Structure 1
Amino acid sequence: MFTRVYFIMFFFVAPLFSDHYISGGKRIELTPLKSSRGIHDRNTLYYADSHGTRYGVTDQIIICSEDETRLQNSLRKYRLKFIRKLSDTLFLCKTATPKETLSLCEAITQERGIKFAHPNFLLKKRVRQITDHYYKREWHLNNRSHPGADIDVKKAWQYTKGEGVIAAIIDEGIDIAHEDLKANIIGFANYDDPDSNYPDSKTGNWHGTACAGLLAAAENGIGVVGVAPKTKLYAVRYSDNDIAQDIKAFNDLMQKGVDIISNSWGSYTNLDAYNEIFKTLATRGRNGKGILIFFASGNDSQDMDEPGIDDESESPYVLSIGASTNRDKIAYYSNYGSSIDFVAPGGNSDAELITTDATGSKGYTSRNYNKHFIGTSAAAPVAAGVAALILSANPELTRDEVIDIMKKTSDKIGSYNYINGRNDYAGYGRLNAGKAVKMARSYYLRTHGVPISTDNFAHIMFESVQKFSN
């Protein structure tokens, strides 16, 4: 009898001590691995979750707290070493060994004044790709083969081309010296390589160069032109696997006054630390007006509502962008679900997008331009470019007001029913820059107390350009 009781108790108690972490209030079970390809080994324990995502756990913890006194109490109680402050609410700390990191995170999360704690995971990102001379071939801007199946940017350009707006591309491999990008790049950084500030690629992957060109390639008589060709850019190389460095990148961009951030990557693990920094930027950025953060939804034909899928693109503080084709259909590869906000041209094998490529032989081609870029990786910077045009037309808009304009002006494409204006495949529809800029110019301004009109548009634009220049 004693043996049976002991066995039953062990059966129920043992799972409490399994390897796991808590994110978004959900318990994520982890299976130990001997090693993990693609994650650097620095005194690291390796794990995988039920979907095969690999994690590296070191002796570092990210703690979220708005009460630094209670944070200090927790540091003393659990004998943690403070490393540095990542943002107003996020702190990087050190444990004695990686073996105790997971258990300490769960214990610290229970302390008063602590919102959450999880390891500073080493995560390998998944780049979201399927693998002016050219302006006439940029069907996503002006579709000649299938008129109307584009973002109608020519009507938006009658009023603005993105003047006064600062955007950022966070990615891998951004050629800041490219002939079609260098005029618009005002800053760059590398959060992966401590010995370099250039946002280059160690593996020959110049994915970020393609994304940057779609958003803001210059109008200069050569090559291609971006959706917002007069928007300025920060080119940022993300960390291959260090979450704390990514958080620092986002926080630094907020401090630099960025209006929009485009991300064509994801990990299918929307950690609480990511969600917290996204919330900070969306609510405190742009002097309280909010930074617009765009994420590619992914190219796996995946239902993002499936249990266990918690991607960065699903955060309520970012805009999740799916892909449409040159025939105004939803691209076959585009992920779907309740988190999808909008779609934008991403192309397919029948009609790809043309954009910038790394200069010379180091790129996907040897001609400085990539004619075969498709995926939600393309759709996200196109969407970010539309937002840049909206903010340029009306610089005083808040993040929520920009989103409201995009919702009200997007075209309802595809063969899906729209309930209350949206569905899980197209979100609120395919973005329309022409309609959006028109609405933005007449959108009520809380700060000025008047709508933008023909009479005062030039004055407000002058104020915005002056603010940007200073």
Structure 2
Amino acid sequence: MRFKISDFKVLDVRRSQKREVIDYGVEMVGAPLEWSETTGKGIKVGVIDTGIDVNHEDLRGRIKEYVNFTSSDRQNVLDDNGHGTHVAGIIAAERNNVGVIGVAPEADLYIAKAFDKDGSADFEAIRNSLVWMAERNVDVINMSFSSQTTSREYQKIISDLYASGITLVCAAGNEGASEGDNGDTIGYPARFDETIAVTAVDINKKRADFSSVGAEAEIAAAGKDIYSCYLDNGYATLSGTSMATPVITGAVALLQAKGLRRYKRRLTPEEIRLVLHIYSEDLGEAGRDTEYGFGLFSFGRFNRTDYVYDNAALRTRGSLRTDMILNAIIAGILLL
């Protein structure tokens, strides 16, 4: 079983970025609204990708551990593709007066290089990366890759990670819409029930034409023309659901930091997903749909209710545990 990172487009590359900027994707998710309370400090974020530029000015202070499963040299996580560095920057680029700022600029990064310079990986590298993340007790794992193949072993690993309390955020894929296969082009691991499938929108909150669609679509985020860290201490603008996924991963890190700060515990994957669903702007068809899922998540919507909220309450009425969570949110206790 072979894997490829989803096709992405490199639109612009810069050798440096002297004036610190906040990309529109970080603004769209409302991350700056949360930074007065938390920037994700102490939250462990796993990234399975093409490696990372360990010397990048915006990332070197955020990298806590790393490993390479593409060769025998386990400590060489040199990113010779660019994808992994860009993804990491969206999640946790530091506030340091240069470059860019990530969604959770004080989150800790745990990097597993599973993809080579061509963006290709085998299942062994993916499996080893997931096990390595579990051993380090990460809070959330970013998987900005997609394939149309799966296996029982793959499913079991994902299921075990979810049961252990790790939130799994995955790219829906860049296959666009299709007339065949019931119009469903979302790949694995985003198709698994345990994962959060992220689709991409542009600056106008419209589905990016490359973004895969399907019943598994869960949350949308900015994924077109996203500016972040790149190779050789540089910066670049890329497009893909690979770029939307780390926006949500960073948001999860902020939610977990809020949980620790206010309740001295981490939120469960189920709680994380419930909050993401409720506080998403309903786009496209009313309710959950195949293009945007529950909609575009933003911290800026925490004081609003909408169709997604009402229907989440109806769907979960039979669950006492979920009702308690909903009641806490209604009372303004959990996150406001």
User: If the TM-score is normalised by the length of the shorter chain, which range does it land in?
Assistant: 0.7 to 0.9
CA displacement 1:397-427 (0-9 Å, x = unmatched): 11100100010001113xx222xx3111100
The aligned amino acid for 1:311 is: Y
* TM-score normalised over the length of structure 2: 0.81
Q: How far off is 1:124 after superposition?
A: 4.1
With over 3 angstroms needed to count, the CA separation of the structure-2 counterparts of 1:223 and 1:336, relative to structure 1, is same
CA displacement 1:345-393 (0-9 Å, x = unmatched): 012xxxx111001125xxxxxxx111x2111010000110011111100
CA displacement 1:188-246 (0-9 Å, x = unmatched): 00011113422224xx3121000000000111111111000010001110154431232
Which residue is 2:141 aligned to? 261
With over 3 angstroms needed to count, the CA separation of the structure-2 counterparts of 1:456 and 1:428, relative to structure 1, is closer
The aligned amino acid for 1:405 is: V
CA displacement 1:250-306 (0-9 Å, x = unmatched): 01111101001111112211222221111010002xxxxx11111111112135755
Are residues 1:234 and 2:110 paired?
yes
Whether the aligned pair in 2 keeps the contact of 1:167 and 1:261 (CA below 8 Å) is yes
Which residue is 1:293 aligned to? 168
With over 3 angstroms needed to count, the CA separation of the structure-2 counterparts of 1:218 and 1:342, relative to structure 1, is same
The aligned amino acid for 1:263 is: M
Are residues 1:129 and 2:129 paired?
no
Which residue is 2:37 aligned to? 159
Whether the aligned pair in 1 keeps the contact of 2:162 and 2:194 (CA below 8 Å) is yes
Q: Measure, in 2, the Cα distance between the counterparts of 1:253 and 1:327.
A: 35
Q: Measure, in 2, the Cα distance between the counterparts of 1:292 and 1:282.
A: 6
Q: Measure, in 2, the Cα distance between the counterparts of 1:308 and 1:456.
A: 35
CA displacement 1:99-155 (0-9 Å, x = unmatched): xxxxxxxxxxxxxxxxxxxxxx3x14233423485554511223xxxxxxx112222
* TM-score normalised over the length of structure 1: 0.59
Are residues 1:357 and 2:252 paired?
no
Which residue is 2:282 aligned to? 412
Whether the aligned pair in 2 keeps the contact of 1:172 and 1:205 (CA below 8 Å) is yes
Are residues 1:369 and 2:249 paired?
no
SS, match of residue 297 in structure 2: coil
RMSD: 3.0
Which of residues 267, 292, 299 is equivalent to 1:426?
A: 292
Which of residues 62, 67, 88 is equivalent to 1:189?
A: 67
**Runs of 5+ in structure 1 lacking a partner?**
1-120, 143-149, 285-289, 361-367, 458-470
With over 3 angstroms needed to count, the CA separation of the structure-2 counterparts of 1:308 and 1:397, relative to structure 1, is closer
Which of residues 191, 195, 198 is equivalent to 1:314?
A: 191
Residue correspondences, number: 300
Q: How far off is 1:311 after superposition?
A: 2.5
Which residue is 1:174 aligned to? 52
Which residue is 1:282 aligned to? 162
Whether the aligned pair in 2 keeps the contact of 1:411 and 1:432 (CA below 8 Å) is yes
Q: Which of the two has higher C-alpha Rg?
A: 1
Q: How far off is 1:316 after superposition?
A: 0.7
Are residues 1:207 and 2:83 paired?
yes
Which residue is 1:17 aligned to? none
Aligned-pair identity (%): 26
Q: Measure, in 1, the Cα distance between the counterparts of 2:163 and 2:182.
A: 25
Which of residues 344, 350, 357 is equivalent to 2:221?
A: 344
- The list of structure 1 runs, each at least 4 consecutive aligned residues, that deviate by more than 3 angstroms after superposition, is 131-137, 302-310, 434-439, 453-457
With over 3 angstroms needed to count, the CA separation of the structure-2 counterparts of 1:137 and 1:249, relative to structure 1, is closer
Which residue is 1:328 aligned to? 205
Q: Measure, in 2, the Cα distance between the counterparts of 1:164 and 1:435.
A: 25
SS, match of residue 157 in structure 1: coil
**Runs of 5+ in structure 2 lacking a partner?**
11-16, 261-265, 306-320
With over 3 angstroms needed to count, the CA separation of the structure-2 counterparts of 1:173 and 1:155, relative to structure 1, is same
Matches within 5 A, 1:381-420: 381-395=246-260, 396-413=266-283, 416-418=284-286
Q: Measure, in 1, the Cα distance between the counterparts of 2:37 and 2:227.
A: 25
The aligned amino acid for 1:390 is: L
Q: Measure, in 2, the Cα distance between the counterparts of 1:127 and 1:456.
A: 35
Q: Measure, in 1, the Cα distance between the counterparts of 2:292 and 2:213.
A: 8
Whether the aligned pair in 2 keeps the contact of 1:189 and 1:237 (CA below 8 Å) is yes
With over 3 angstroms needed to count, the CA separation of the structure-2 counterparts of 1:425 and 1:356, relative to structure 1, is same
Which residue is 2:97 aligned to? 221
Which residue is 2:151 aligned to? 271
Whether the aligned pair in 1 keeps the contact of 2:22 and 2:101 (CA below 8 Å) is no
